[in-house]
Structure 1
Amino acid sequence: MIITRPVQRILRRTSHPEYLRISAILRKETVGGALLLAATVVALIWANSAGSASYFSLRETSIGVDFLGLKLSLGSWAADGLLAIFFFVAGLELKREFVAGDLRRFDRAIVPIAAAIGGVAVPAIIYTLVNLTAGPEVLHGWAIPTATDIAFALAVLAVIGSHLPSALRTFLLTLAVVDDLIAIAIIAIFYPHGLEPQYLALALIPLGLFTWLVQKRVRSWYLLLPLAIITWVLIHASGVHATVAGVLLAFAVPVLRRDRNPDNGPGLAEHFEHRFRPLSTGVAVPIFAFFSAGVAIGGWSGLSSALGDSVTIGIVLGLVLGKMIGIFAATFIVTKTTRASLDEGLSWIDVLGLAILAGIGFTVSLLISELAFGVESAHNDHAKIAILSASLIAALIATVVLRIRNRQYRRIAELEARDDDGDGVPDVFANKD
């Protein structure tokens, strides 16, 4: 007797509780994307205005104490400190997805993981090939086009894709979260500055105490916050980028309640996520964008100089073409090498549209650019122009593709809202496994 394994459907509709949770996250990220865009526009206008000197003076203003390298410019505080909050939230989301979310199942997890890996590898390869003869300094920026900005991408998707299936939005969110995890691993491994292992070892003490407390389900901020800050300080002093502290602290937080009953309330990870996501999307990331996106273009001559730099070419090709090729190809290969296939009603053009949209790189790309080239480097300024240009190009192309698909999904979206039996759960979620 031959037993055939069922075909696994990828990008299929999530369970109803997961759908509600993801929808709440998407709303917050969409608002964050609007604030991020506003901060970027203000920074660009100010940096290219008659008062540009005041912008750069503000960014370089130093505050802090001369102890363990804690006297930093405002721009560095935004990159090292505020982005730690961003990565803390990303770490919480990633851990929850794989412990209690729909991605705890292999058939759901494999696609966004493979897509994220493809979306990191191909842009890095393209950048490296473009800059193969440009020297080691330029090649040091290979990781710049590997990151997807979740806030910007979801904000664009919210505007152009009001009727796209929720599975596509979930796919983009999960892909971007895994992408962020890969990015922080790249930062930790390939972009340390003056490694001091003794401080890294000392960081294990407050991190261990923080882990012990959260595993006991302690929520008291006056206990947890000092330990988190001490962990951040020691990791910052170690030479490893301080945002790594955010991920390590997030991974220490338990996802499930001790009684394993979600009806009694959210777990600690979800509790922290609800508290810190507004701070991340509404404050930390926009402030970082304000201090990092400001670049003096210098008119047409400055723009021509940037466009002639192989750094600019490598980043634009990496984000616009590399992300599209890597994500789409990885997803396609998964379906051809396993028993997986696209969920009924979806098309490969949907995947292509999301792959193009993932070419919107901003927050982490700007961070890696500063780490790779230095804040005062001409290559860093050109990289900023490339990141902004590539993100705009990717957004425009994705808009064309997904707006066409959005019209075709309008009728499907209306059917999803039907609740003929009046149980409060849309009929489309009925009898799901």
Structure 2
Amino acid sequence: MAAPAPERRTFLGRLSLPERNYLADALRTETVGGVLLLVAAITALIWANTPLSSSYTAVSDFHIGPASLGLNLSVEHWAADGLLAVFFFVAGIELKRELVAGELRDRRTAALPVIAAVCGMAMPAMVYLLVTAVGGGSTKGWAVPTATDIAFALAVLAVIGTSLPSALRAFLLTLAVVDDLFAILIIAVFFTADLNFAALGGAFAGLALFWLLLRKEVRGWYIYVPLALVVWGLMYNSGVHATIAGVAMGLMLRCTRREGEQHSPGEHIEHLVRPLSAGLAVPLFALFSAGVSIGGDALGQVFTRPETLGVVLGLVVGKTIGIFGGTWLAARFTKAELNPDLAWPDVLALASLAGIGFTVSLLIGELAFEGDATLTEEIKASVLMGSLIAAVLACILLKLRDRTYLALFAEEERDEDLDGIPDVYEQDNPEYHLRMAAIYEAKAAEHRRRAQVAGASRDGGGSPA
């Protein structure tokens, strides 16, 4: 007896209704945050390239915090190590939810975005290493072009007004979540200084207490927020990058719903903290990290120095080839069929959009070239330039298919029976067809009534007075 043929799955197919609703809520906040991120980055560039540049340097270098606790840090340092811990806390919750309730819970479904994300990080690193090997540059920045900034990417979508179907947006978000996971691992493994084992032990003890309180279902922000601050401070002094504390605490939250729960604790806390992350933490980080000189000499260095050229090519070329190639190969060998409403150029456009690497790329650039202020500034300029080129390329590719996206988006949002559920999710429901039949009959009756009124009016107007 012949073995049954493997089940063919649809790649970029329609999401389930709960996943679609969650995605819409999450991306709405991230899009607003992305616009604020753009505003903060532009403000930083203007501030740092005008006669007010000395004040920008003074504010960024201003130190504040208790020196006795090892936390007398500059404002720029607080933004990178403190505020970004909030960003990574949300990233940890997102990752946990994707693993237990989202696109990554099914290994077969997760294969495509995971392979695409891995290839989308490996290829930029290889491009960077190739460029620096040929040009004789430093290999320290290999990880800079590996990260994708989902908020910046969504801000670009908001600016150009492209109504991407939910499946494409979900794929982009899942790519970013997996991307964040590997970025966290890179920071933890490759950018950890000399360890202070006493502080590290204290941080682990604090995390254990955090986990125990969650398991005992102890409630109260006044317990968790002070504990989180203590864990963060100990992690910072341990030599491990302090943002790892945020990720660890995010991963500990329960993201599965129990009977009678409308939202899991993780989803509830993410809903509360995400606006703080997207609307305050990340824009402030951008404000104090994106302020680099963009004079003629600086821009010239971006395309002539091997380290900076490697970052630009890694983001623009490496990301696009890596994600598109990894996705195509994974779909080919996992027998996944592309959604018939979409085409492979759509995946190519999405891959180029993922070349926008801002927040985490800037952070890794600072860590990789710490102590070399000039090269750090040039690497930041190359991240900005590479992200800008990737954004322009993605805009061109997405605009070529804008009419298709608008039609698909309109079909996803259509709700003619006005019950709050898009019609595409009710087509197999008999009650839906009864409601629609009643709606169509009411519209036909109204049309007939208007026709009769119009006819009577014409007859009346033609009769003698």
Range class of TM-score, shorter chain? over 0.9
Q: Give the letter for the 1:398 counterpart.
A: A
Conserved 8 A contact 1:160-1:406: no
Corresponding residue for 1:288?
285
1:304 offset after TM fit, Å? 2.0
Are 1:222 and 2:192 an aligned pair? no
5+ residue gaps, structure 2, are 429-465
Q: 1:106 to 1:361 in 2, by over 3 A?
A: same
User: Aligned pair 1:141/2:141, yes or no?
Assistant: yes
Equivalent pair of 1:44/1:295 in contact (CA under 8 Å): yes
For normalisation by structure 1, the TM-score amounts to: 0.95
Equivalent residues of 1:295, 1:381 under 8 A apart: yes
Superposed displacement of residue 256, structure 1: 2.1
Contact 1:130 1:314 in 2 (8 A): yes
> How far 1:412 moved relative to its partner?
2.7
* 2: CA distance, partners of 1:129 / 1:264: 52
1:399 match: secondary structure = helix
Aligned-partner Cα distance in 1 for 2:76–2:208: 30
Match of 2:385 in 1: 389
After superposition, the Cα gap between the structure-2 partners of 1:425 and 1:304, relative to the gap in structure 1 and judged at 3 Å, is: same
Q: Give the greater-gyration-radius structure (CA).
A: 2
Do the aligned partners of 1:309 and 1:382 also contact (CA within 8 Å) in 2? Answer: no
- List aligned pairs for 1:82-121, cutoff 5 A: 82-121=83-122
2:35 counterpart of 1:39? no
**SS class of match (1:226):** helix
1:390-416 deviation line (CA, Å, top 9, x unaligned): 111111111011111121232233222
Indicate the larger mover: 206-215 or 81-90: 206-215
> After alignment, is 394-403 or 412-421 more displaced?
412-421
| CA deviations over 1:206-225 (Å, ceiling 9, x no partner) | 10111111123333111111
Match for 2:113: what amino acid? P
TM-aligned CA deviation for residue 135 of structure 1: 6.3
The 5 A counterparts of 1:299-310 are: 299-310=295-306
SS of structure 1 residue aligned to 2:153: helix
CA shift, 1:106, in A, is: 2.1
Aligned to 2:254: 254
Could you tell me whether the CA contact under 8 Å between 1:163 and 1:407 is conserved in 2? no
Q: Which amino acid aligns with 2:370?
A: G
AA partner of residue 82 (structure 1): L
Gaps of 5+ in 1: none
1:102-132, CA deviations, whole angstroms, 9 ceiling, x for partnerless residues? 4312232111111111111000011011112
Q: 1:91 to 1:431 in 2, by over 3 A?
A: farther
Contact 1:10 1:107 in 2 (8 A): no
CA drift at 1:155: 1.3
CA shift, 1:68, in A, is: 4.0
**What is the identity, as a one-letter code, of the residue corresponding to 1:129?**
L
SS in 1 for 2:65: strand
Structure 1 stretch 36-45 or stretch 409-418: which is displaced more? 409-418
Q: 2:422 corresponds to which residue?
A: 426
State the alpha-carbon separation in 2 of the partners of residues 393 and 14 from structure 1: 31
2:298–2:381 contact (8 Å) kept in structure 1 = no
1:17-416 maps to which residues of 2 (within 5 A)?
Answer: 17-132=18-133, 138-160=138-160, 162-257=162-257, 260-261=258-259, 263-297=260-294, 299-374=295-370, 377-416=373-412
CA deviation vs aligned residue, 1:262-315 (integer Å, no higher than 9, x gap): x53211100110110000000000000000000123x32333234321111000
In the TM superposition, what whole-angstrom CA distance separates every residue of 1:62-82 from its partner, at most 9, and x where no partner exists?
A: 001123421100000000000
Q: Please state if 1:7 is matched with 2:8.
A: yes
* Alignment partners' CA distance in 1, 2:335 and 2:253: 35
Distance (Å, rounded) in 2 between the aligned partners of 1:289 and 1:102: 30
1:144-200 deviations in Å (ceiling 9; x for gaps): 000011101011123335332110001101111110111011001001122223321
**Contact kept in structure 2, 1:307 and 1:313, CA below 8 Å:** yes
Deviates more, 1:396-405 or 1:188-197: 188-197
What is the distance in 1 between the residues matched to 2:331 and 2:148? 23
Comparing 127-136 with 234-243, greater Cα deviation is found at 127-136
Is the 8 Å Cα contact of residues 145 and 361 (structure 1) preserved in structure 2? yes
How far does residue 255 in structure 1 lie from its aligned partner after superposition? Answer: 1.2
- Once superposed, what is the RMSD of the aligned Cα atoms? 1.7
Which amino acid counterpart does residue 314 of structure 2 have in structure 1?
A: G
Task: Tell me which moved more, 126-135 or 279-288.
Answer: 126-135
Q: CA deviation at 1:421?
A: 5.6
Distance in 2 separating the partners of 1:321 and 1:173 = 20
Contact kept, 8 Å, 2:19 with 2:102, in 1: the verdict is yes
Q: Secondary structure at the match of 2:64?
A: strand
What secondary structure does 2:348 align onto?
A: helix
- Counterpart CA distance in 2 for 1:420 and 1:44 is 47
Which secondary structure state, in structure 1, belongs to the residue aligned with residue 118 of structure 2?
helix
Q: Percent identity?
A: 52
Q: d(CA) in 2 for partners of 1:55 and 1:289?
A: 13
Distance in 2, Cα, partners of 1:237 & 1:73? 15
